[in-house]
Amino acid sequence: MIPDILNILISGIFYASILFLVSAGLQLVFGVQKIFNLACGSFYALGAYTGVSFIVAAQSLGLPPILSLIPLLLAGFSLFFIGPIIERGLLKFIYGRDDHFQLLLTFAIVLMFEDVIKFVWGTSPQLITKVYQAYGQIDILGVTFPVYNLIVILSSLIFAGLIGYMLARTKFGRIIRATADNREVSEALGVNMKMVNVKVFTLGTVLGTLGGALVIPATAAITEMGVDLIVLAFAVVVIGGLGSMKGAFFGAMIVGVLRSISVATYPELELLIIYLIVIGVLVYKPEGIFGGTGT
Amino acid sequence: MLSFMAIVLFILVLPRFGFQYASYLMLTFFGYGVAVLGWNLLFGYTGLLSFGHALFFAVGAYTLAFLMNKFSIFHMEAILLITVIISGALAALVGAICIRYTRVYFGMLTLAFNMLFYSFLLKFYYITGGDEGMNVSRPYLLGIDFLGIPKMQFLTGTYYYYAWAVLVIATLIMYGIVSSPFGHCLKAIRDNPEKATYLGIDIKRYRWYAFIISGIYTAVGGVLVAPVVGLVDPSMAYWTHSGTFVFMALLGGFVNFLGPLLGAVLYIFLQDTIMSLLYYWRFVFGAMLAFIVIAAPGGITGFIGSLMNKEETGV
Amino acid sequence: MCEEERAVILNASDVCKYYGDFCALEGVSFSIKENEFVSIIGPNGAGKTTLINVLTGLFKPSRGKVFFKDRDITGIGPEKLSKLGLARSFQLVNIFPEFTVMEFIKVAIISRQGKGTQFYHLLAHDKEIERQAQEVANLFGLQGKRNVLAKNLPQGDKKLLDIASAFALQPEVILLDEPTSGVSTSDKNKIMETLVSASKKIGIKSIIQVEHDMDIVFSFSDRIIALHQGKILADGTPQEFEKNEEVVCTVMGQKECFKIFSGLGKDEGSS
> Taking 90 as the threshold, does the pLDDT of residue B184 lie above it?
yes
Residue C2's pLDDT is what? 47
Minimum-distance CB partner of B289 among A108, A115, A242 = A108
Q: What is the pLDDT of residues B238-292, one digit of tens each?
A: 888 999 999 999 999 999 899 999 999 999 999 999 888 888 888 999 999 999 9
- B3-12, B180-189, C100-109: range with lowest mean pLDDT: B3-12
Q: Judge whether A81 is closer than 8 Å to chain B, CB to CB.
A: no
For residues B214 and B91, is the Cβ–Cβ distance under 8 A? yes
DSSP B139: P
Measured between CA atoms, the residue of chain A closest to residue B44 is: A100
Rounded alpha-carbon distances, angstroms, from residue B89 to B63, B86, B95: 13, 5, 10
pLDDT band at B310 (very low <50, low <70, confident <90, very high): low
pLDDT at C271 exceeding the cut of 90 = no
Q: Is the Cβ pair B116, A116 closer than 8 Å?
A: no
Helix ranges (H only) for chain A are 2-33, 40-60, 69-78, 82-89, 99-121, 131-134, 147-169, 171-181, 183-188, 193-215, 225-240, 245-264, 270-284
Q: pLDDT-based confidence at A281, cuts 50/70/90?
A: confident
State the average pLDDT over residues C48-53: 85
pLDDT averaged over every residue in chain B: 88
- Whether C250 shows a pLDDT value over 90: the answer reads no
pLDDT per residue over B41-79, tens digit each? 999 999 999 999 999 999 999 999 999 998 988 899 999
Answer whether residue A279 shows pLDDT above 70: yes
**Per-residue confidence band for A46, with pLDDT thresholds at 50, 70 and 90:** very high
**Chain C partners within 8 Å of B213 (Cβ):** 119
The angle that helices B54-69 and B203-229 make with each other, rounded to 10 degrees, is 50
A273: distance to nearest CA of chain B, Å?
Answer: 9
Label residue A294 by pLDDT band (50, 70, 90): very low
A46 at B interface, C-beta within 8 A? no
**Chain C contact present for B119, CB below 8 A:** no
SS3 at position C63: strand
Within 8 A of B185 by CB-CB distance, chain C residues are 107, 110-111, 116
Is residue B224 pLDDT above 80, yes or no?
Answer: yes
Chain B residue numbers touching A272 (CB-CB < 8 A): 116, 119-120, 123
Phi and psi dihedrals of A22, rounded to 5? -65, -45
Of B109, B118, B293, the CB nearest to A108: B293
Residue A107 near chain B (CB below 8 Å): yes
Residue C49 CB partners (closer than 8 Å, separation 6+): C91, C177, C210
> Is the CB of B104 less than 8 angstroms away from the CB of A270?
no
Residue C66 has φ and ψ, to the nearest 5°, of -125, 135
Helix or strand holding residue C226 (H, E): strand C223-228
pLDDT reported for residue C121? 83
pLDDT tens-digit series, residues A124-139: 888 888 788 788 888 8
pLDDT-above-70 percentage for chain A: 98
Range from A125-139, A257-271, C99-113 that averages highest in pLDDT: C99-113
Which has more confidence, A112 or B127?
A112
Query: Which residues of chain C does B217 touch, with a Cβ-Cβ cutoff of 8 Å?
Result: none
First to last CA, chain A: 39
Determine the pLDDT at residue C1: 43
Place B16 in a pLDDT band, splitting at 50, 70 and 90: low
Question: Is residue C266 scored above 60 in pLDDT?
Answer: no
**Radius of gyration over every alpha carbon of chain C, rounded to an integer in angstroms:** 19
CB–CB of C122 and B176 under 8 A?
yes
Is B109 in Cβ contact with A282 (below 8 Å)?
yes
Query: Stretch B142-158: mean pLDDT, rounded?
Result: 74
Against chain C, the chains showing at least 3 CB pairs within 8 Å are B
* C119 → closest Cβ in B180, B191, B197: B180
Chain B touched by A277 (CB under 8 Å): no
Mark out the alpha helices in chain C (DSSP H runs).
Answer: 48-55, 78-84, 101-112, 127-139, 155-167, 185-202, 214-220, 238-243, 245-261
Q: Give, as one character, the DSSP assignment of residue C149.
A: B
For A182-250, give the DSSP string: -HHHHHHTT--HHHHHHHHHHHHHHHHHHHHHHHTTTS-B-TTHHHHHHHHHHHHHHHH-TT-HHHHHH
pLDDT-derived band at B217, boundaries 50, 70, 90: very high
* CB-count burial class (<10 Å; 0-12, 13-18, 19+) for C183: buried
Residue of B101, B281, B294 with shortest CB distance to A286 = B101
* Per-residue pLDDT at B178: 93
Residue A106 has pLDDT above 70, yes or no: yes
pLDDT of C252: 63
pLDDT tens digits for range A107-122:
999 989 999 999 999 8
> Which pLDDT does position B314 carry in this prediction?
38
Kindly identify which residue of chain B lies nearest to residue C147, measuring between CA atoms.
B312
Which of B192, B240, B255 is most worth mutating to test chain A (most A CB atoms within 10 A of its CB)? B240
Q: What is the pLDDT at residue B195? A: 92
Residue with the bigger pLDDT between B306 and B252: it is: B252
Question: For residue A203, what pLDDT is reported?
Answer: 94
Predicted confidence at residue C263, as pLDDT, reads 54
Q: What is the pLDDT of residue B315?
A: 34
Please give the pLDDT value at position B183. 94
Mean of pLDDT over chain C: 83
What is residue A140's predicted lDDT score, i.e. its pLDDT? 79
Residue C240's alpha-carbon distances to C28, C32, C251, in angstroms, are 20, 17, 14
Res C267 pLDDT > 50:
no
Residues A189 and A195 sit within 8 Å (Cβ to Cβ): no
Q: Which of A284-288, B200-204, B305-309, C224-228 has the highest mean pLDDT?
A: B200-204
Cβ contact, residue pair B123, A272, below 8 Å: yes
Residue A176's pLDDT band (boundaries 50, 70, 90)?
confident
Q: How far does the CA of residue B233 sit from the closest CA of chain C (Å)?
A: 34
Using CA atoms in the order A97, A103, A106, A107, what is the torsion angle rounded to 10 degrees? Answer: -140
Query: What was the pLDDT predicted at A2?
Result: 75
Using CA atoms, how far apart are residues A115 and A110, in angstroms rounded to an integer?
A: 9
Position B127 confidence tier, pLDDT thresholds 50, 70, 90? confident
* Closest CA–CA distance from residue C107 to any residue of chain B (Å): 6
Whether chain B lies against chain C with 3 or more Cβ pairs closer than 8 A is yes
pLDDT at C253 over 70: no
Asked if chain A contacts chain C via 3 or more Cβ pairs within 8 Å, the reply is: no
Residue B23 has pLDDT above 90, yes or no: no
Name which of A70, A285, A87, A51 is nearest A195 in CA terms: A87
Whether the CB of B311 is below 8 Å from some CB of chain C: the reply is: no
Q: Which amino acid appears at position A6 of this protein? A: L
Contact between C33 and C9 under an 8 Å Cβ cutoff? The reply is: yes
d(CA C64, nearest CA chain B) in Å: 23
Q: Which of the four pLDDT bands, split at 50, 70 and 90, describes residue C269? A: very low
Which residues in chain A (204-233) have CB-CB distances under 8 A to chain B? 227, 231
Q: Does pLDDT of A290 surpass 70?
A: yes
| Chain B contact partners (≥3 CB pairs within 8 A) | A, C
Q: Give me the percent of chain C exceeding a pLDDT of 90.
A: 17
Quickly state the pLDDT bin for C254 (edges 50, 70, 90): low
Minimal C-alpha gap between B50 and chain A (Å): 10
Q: Does the structure show a pLDDT above 60 at A293? A: no
The predicted pLDDT at position A63 comes to: 82
Tell me the three state secondary structure of residue A57.
helix
Residue (of B268, B262, B261, B310) closest to B285 by Cα position: B268
Contact state of A118 with B293 under an 8 Å Cβ cutoff: no
| Amino acid A295: pLDDT | 35
What backbone torsions phi and psi does residue C229 show, to the nearest 5 degrees?
50, 45
